[in-house]
Structure 1
């Protein structure tokens, strides 16, 4: 019986059922890259389902039977795709499986920033009543700029359109967009948006896409939302922009280093609404991503003959 390695502690029961003909090895809740390499050497899996940790060339070389690396989600930046291609290992992702969940988180963060939900809640619990002094940002009629128009970005676009926002988007690969999404170039995103929301994968070409220069081009008082990857943002530049008021608020679900360590500059800072990369973590998305990751792995195994 061939082995499938899961770089996590569990999979949805529906995914387990799909993989019933394989031996499953789980790496645990917080596996390191070294843990993954050791498990590959010990079990020589034909497939890896990636939940946590990076999977690099060392893990691939430790598993000569490996034929597919399947991401439990849509972002494959933790997988060394160049090394995989060189070794004839397919990399597949559960694209769209968590689109509803992540888009809803982006909407929640946008609304929390625009309506000062977190700070007003804290003030109310402290006994204050700020009705006479507080004014929220009305989103109706405002422009939201989306960077990335894949399954998640388009789902969020539909939500933004439904609350009366003008939706513009940048994605060089997007085609056949709905009528309510206006495709623009990247400079227009910075120039015209009242809210900017990131929905693109992280690549070497767009690392620190949000930086001192791009933030300076944005409208003063812009709201920034990121439910994609932390590496898209220069965190020091964003901190400075929030402190100066160039960015009114930032709603962030992903960070350059995860988990966020105690003492991170964003912690306790006004103008930041933070969540621990849980945009795709819902009971429905857990099932959808697990099933899609399992099916994707099995599809590759079915069409790719074993070489070891």
Structure 2
């Protein structure tokens, strides 16, 4: 009886429990250390399956999530959960509205990989211009490039069109200008930074740009932002670059546009679906630079991401408002599961 009593009251079982739905890097040591310093325990889900997450969420005080879906049924299974923290910028894998109804604070980390993603967008542009994919494939197959049709493209003087101008879009501007690209931007708010040309509409940007690079979140309003009509508005020599979210682009429409020569190529770090099926026709194309959603990743960015996401969890567990709340309405809601004070 004494052993049972001591087990129920052991520090390990009374410490706040944080469920990590999935980890997209080799180790959870950084976030585990941040949480341990605050007296919390990290539990990493083995598979990220929804049924498994619902079971593990039953005694979770907080949820950390990267790519795994956190739908209403997982949130409903977590009666103690006070916060859902995203490892990353977009929160389209979380049912934010339902979390708000339940009184859970949802947070993200919007600035951890600005340089990495801007570098990756520039890399995609350079790889398309210098025809990196067909040349490296030819050399790997024993050739020496002379059998690869077409020529590379001079970038100086061409136009980069930015759709969205958040931190990553802004970081891409000086990189693009350094290689001689002119920059024009379109934002739904209508505003752009001083010194950056503004397109009056998305269609205007698509008609003018030699490269279109996407830098907006995925929402109901931006899903398939680039579809058949938008692709048809682009130059036949233009390229599409997507380092944001796969769902921004209608994949079938993009494939059809590439096949028909409506546009000249694409550089994609994100796709819809993701991952692409092994036999998907976008794989293996010489006019597509395809990477597996790794634009965000570097040794520095991953450590920063883990530290900041875990820090957002600690803030809520210790009664503070995180720096980056996605659903601020919850802070004044009667449903809020614990009182929070500003820093």
TM-score (norm 1): 0.92
Question: In structure 2, do the counterparts of structure 1 residues 52 and 133 end up closer, same or farther at CA, with 3 Å as the change threshold?
Answer: closer
Deviation at 1:158, TM superposition (A): 2.1
Match of 1:22 in 2: 40
Question: In structure 2, do the counterparts of structure 1 residues 299 and 269 end up closer, same or farther at CA, with 3 Å as the change threshold?
Answer: same
Cα pair 2:165 2:192 within 8 Å, conserved: no
Point out the more displaced range, 48-57 or 165-174: 165-174
Deviation at 1:180, TM superposition (A): 3.7
| Alpha-carbon displacement from aligned partner over 1:87-138 (angstroms, at most 9, x marks no partner) | 1111111001111111111111111111110101122332234299642111
Point out the more displaced range, 160-169 or 230-239: 160-169
Deviation at 1:252, TM superposition (A): 0.6
Question: In structure 2, do the counterparts of structure 1 residues 132 and 297 end up closer, same or farther at CA, with 3 Å as the change threshold?
Answer: closer
From 174, 198, 201, the counterpart of 2:217 = 201
Question: In structure 2, do the counterparts of structure 1 residues 306 and 246 end up closer, same or farther at CA, with 3 Å as the change threshold?
Answer: closer
Point out the more displaced range, 182-191 or 289-298: 182-191
Q: How do 1:130-145 residues align onto structure 2 when only pairs under 5 Å count? A: 130=146, 134-145=150-161
Cα pair 2:190 2:200 within 8 Å, conserved: no
User: Is it true that 1:274 corresponds to 2:300 in the alignment?
Assistant: no
Question: In structure 2, do the counterparts of structure 1 residues 97 and 173 end up closer, same or farther at CA, with 3 Å as the change threshold?
Answer: farther
Deviation at 1:287, TM superposition (A): 0.6
Match of 1:39 in 2: 56
Match of 1:108 in 2: 123
Question: In structure 2, do the counterparts of structure 1 residues 174 and 161 end up closer, same or farther at CA, with 3 Å as the change threshold?
Answer: farther
Unaligned runs of 5+ in 1: none
**Separation in 1 of the partners of 2:200 and 2:177?**
16
For the pair shown, the structure with the greater C-alpha radius of gyration is: 2
**Separation in 2 of the partners of 1:132 and 1:139?**
20
User: Is it true that 1:67 corresponds to 2:85 in the alignment?
Assistant: no
Deviation at 1:199, TM superposition (A): 1.2
Cα pair 1:113 1:249 within 8 Å, conserved: yes
Deviation at 1:83, TM superposition (A): 0.7
Point out the more displaced range, 272-281 or 258-267: 258-267
Match of 2:255 in 1: 239
TM-score (norm 2): 0.83
Unaligned runs of 5+ in 2: 1-14, 322-335
Q: How do 1:205-284 residues align onto structure 2 when only pairs under 5 Å count? A: 205-284=221-300
From 316, 320, 330, the counterpart of 1:303 = 320
| Alpha-carbon displacement from aligned partner over 1:43-88 (angstroms, at most 9, x marks no partner) | x212111113100111111111111111101111100111111111
**Separation in 2 of the partners of 1:107 and 1:123?**
23
Match of 2:304 in 1: 288
Question: In structure 2, do the counterparts of structure 1 residues 225 and 173 end up closer, same or farther at CA, with 3 Å as the change threshold?
Answer: same
From 80, 86, 94, the counterpart of 1:79 = 94
Secondary structure of the residue aligned to 2:110 is: coil
Cα pair 1:149 1:174 within 8 Å, conserved: no
| Alpha-carbon displacement from aligned partner over 1:252-304 (angstroms, at most 9, x marks no partner) | 11111222221112122331111111111211111111111111222233237
Cα pair 1:146 1:153 within 8 Å, conserved: yes
Indicate the RMSD between aligned Cα atoms, in angstroms: 2.2
Secondary structure of the residue aligned to 1:247 is: coil
Deviation at 1:178, TM superposition (A): 4.5
**Separation in 2 of the partners of 1:39 and 1:124?**
49
Secondary structure of the residue aligned to 1:100 is: helix
Deviation at 1:35, TM superposition (A): 2.1
Alignment length, in residue pairs?
A: 305
Match of 1:152 in 2: 168
